[in-house]
């Protein structure tokens, strides 16, 4: 019964429904962009929904297990403030995701709130149970660490699996492609709320005692996500490396959390290291991509592969984004039109000569649907009218 009550309360939280709307809008915009650029969508299914649901549950279970073992305790004031800021950021800033900065801001507010001794603010803070005892900085460090760990898992497991090309024009008028990633999820994180603030309003809410202190259990919708665009490298490789680096940073955070039990003042050092380290890893990844000697651009000696549609013959041909198709059915091709004309030479079979990103050549072939060469599933630059 208590489990169902916690789930029901989680489903009623506004931040969750705003995030659902945000994912719906993001998914539809991606599909519309793909249809506009390539006639039909590269990924017609709304994979963002799958990642939002499956990734949210998976990451939520992992983070809640750690939270339960360590005992993450947050004051109700911090929870309320966090959900308000998350909801506002998802509405006001639709193109960005700030999970780490939001948690950092709430931690800073929670630390300084007890010192706001004005006649009108302190009573409000007292209603929400905000006190220096409730806002131990070690809990803030643990909260920030769990956010970083959630981002690391999300990036490593999901980012770059469905590279959706976006076409842009350079200053010289040359068209290039990049690969944006705008996914997010809300991970249900089980936390402890000190005091009886919730049960005072909702008498049926479970309340229990730990060493003479009253606590209630709450499921917090934890915002997870990164806004990133890959211009030159292979998206999946970029994100897997970034995910491993963020995992290492989160591991350092967990070690610092354990150290705070013996030296509480080290919590501030840990928070600074995590925030600076997170921003530095994103900057370093972006710089590494920016200085890589490659562009997803048109070429003169063939046709650049920008994507592979799932469940099409192209998935059997070991093609990768960035490859250049030089020949089709033993005929040189330099445009989308020439490729489809070459496919008509043998409308049931496709034989390609391909040059990969490293300059290596390979031959690949597969059967194609009879009379349907346009359904081969290779995403290319469209011919200019």
- Residue 161, CA distances (Å) to 235, 236, 301 in order: 8, 6, 28
What is the tally of structural domains in the chain? 2
Give the domain-ending residue among 236, 258, 290: 290
Considering the domain architecture, whether residues 258 and 315 belong to the same structural domain is answered as no
Residue 98 lies in a domain: yes
What domain range includes position 78?
A: 2-290
**Token match 């499921």: residue?**
219
Considering the domain architecture, whether residues 192 and 272 belong to the same structural domain is answered as yes
Query: CA–CA separation, 312 vs 375, rounded Å?
Result: 7
Considering the domain architecture, whether residues 247 and 317 belong to the same structural domain is answered as no
In the prediction, which pLDDT does 198 show?
60
Q: How many residues does the chain have?
A: 385
Considering the domain architecture, whether residues 273 and 322 belong to the same structural domain is answered as no
At residue 219, φ and ψ (nearest 5 deg) are: -100, 115
Residue 15 lies in a domain: yes
Give the domain-ending residue among 250, 266, 290: 290
Residue 385 lies in a domain: no
In the prediction, which pLDDT does 218 show?
86
Query: CA–CA separation, 357 vs 137, rounded Å?
Result: 48
Helix/strand/coil for 326: strand
Considering the domain architecture, whether residues 249 and 340 belong to the same structural domain is answered as no
Question: What are 224's strand-pairing partners?
Answer: 185
Considering the domain architecture, whether residues 336 and 303 belong to the same structural domain is answered as yes
Residue 256 lies in a domain: yes
In the prediction, which pLDDT does 97 show?
78
pTM, two decimals, is: 0.89
Considering the domain architecture, whether residues 307 and 266 belong to the same structural domain is answered as no
Q: What is the CATH number for 356?
A: 2.30.42.10
Query: CA–CA separation, 97 vs 208, rounded Å?
Result: 36
Residue 263 lies in a domain: yes
Considering the domain architecture, whether residues 264 and 195 belong to the same structural domain is answered as yes
pLDDT in tens, the chain (385 residues): 555 666 677 778 889 999 999 999 999 999 999 999 998 899 998 999 999 999 999 999 999 999 989 989 888 888 888 999 999 999 887 666 789 999 999 998 878 765 543 344 445 445 544 444 444 789 999 999 999 999 999 999 999 999 999 999 876 778 899 999 999 999 999 998 886 556 555 655 666 766 667 778 889 999 999 999 999 999 999 999 999 999 999 999 999 999 998 999 899 999 999 999 999 999 999 999 999 999 999 998 999 999 999 988 888 898 999 999 999 999 999 998 999 889 888 878 889 999 999 899 999 988 876 555 567 889 999 877 5
Give the domain-ending residue among 273, 290, 307: 290
Considering the domain architecture, whether residues 93 and 207 belong to the same structural domain is answered as yes
């Amino acid at each position: 019964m208590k489990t169902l009550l916690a789930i029901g309360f989680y489903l009623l939280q506004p931040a969750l429904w705003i995030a659902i709307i945000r994912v719906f809008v993001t998914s539809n915009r991606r599909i519309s962009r793909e249809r506009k650029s390539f006639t039909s969508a590269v990924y017609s299914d709304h994979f963002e929904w799958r990642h939002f649901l499956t990734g949210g549950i998976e990451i939520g279970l992992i983070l809640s297990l750690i939270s339960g073992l360590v005992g993450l305790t947050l004051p109700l004031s911090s929870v309320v403030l966090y959900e308000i800021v998350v909801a506002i950021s998802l509405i006001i800033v639709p193109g960005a995701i700030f999970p780490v900065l939001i948690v950092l801001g709430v931690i800073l507010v929670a630390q300084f709130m007890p010192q706001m001794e004005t006649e009108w603010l302190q009573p409000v803070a007292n209603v929400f149970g905000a006190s220096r005892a409730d806002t131990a900085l070690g809990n803030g460090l643990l909260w920030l660490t769990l956010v970083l760990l959630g981002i690391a898992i999300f990036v490593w497991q999901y980012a770059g699996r469905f590279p959706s090309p976006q076409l842009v024009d350079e200053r010289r008028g040359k068209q290039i492609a990049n690969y944006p990633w705008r996914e997010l999820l809300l991970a249900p994180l089980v936390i402890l709320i000190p005091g009886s603030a919730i049960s005072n309003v909702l008498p049926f809410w479970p309340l229990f005692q730990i060493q003479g202190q009253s606590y209630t259990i709450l499921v917090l919708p934890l915002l997870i996500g990164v806004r990133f665009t890959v211009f030159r490298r292979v998206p999946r490789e970029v994100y897997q490396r970034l995910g491993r680096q963020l995992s290492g940073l989160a591991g350092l955070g967990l070690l610092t959390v354990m150290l705070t039990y013996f030296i509480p003042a080290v919590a501030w050092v840990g928070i600074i290291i995590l925030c600076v380290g997170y921003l530095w890893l994103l900057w370093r990844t972006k710089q590494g991509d920016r200085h890589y000697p490659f562009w997803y651009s048109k070429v003169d000696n063939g046709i650049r592969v920008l994507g592979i549609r799932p469940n099409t013959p192209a998935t059997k041909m070991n093609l990768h984004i960035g490859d250049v198709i030089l020949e089709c059915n033993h005929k040189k091709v330099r445009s989308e039109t020439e490729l489809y004309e070459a496919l008509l030479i043998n409308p049931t079979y496709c034989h390609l000569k391909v040059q990969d990103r490293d300059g290596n050549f390979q031959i690949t072939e597969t059967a194609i649907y009879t009379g349907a060469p346009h359904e081969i599933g290779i995403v290319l630059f469209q011919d200019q009218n």
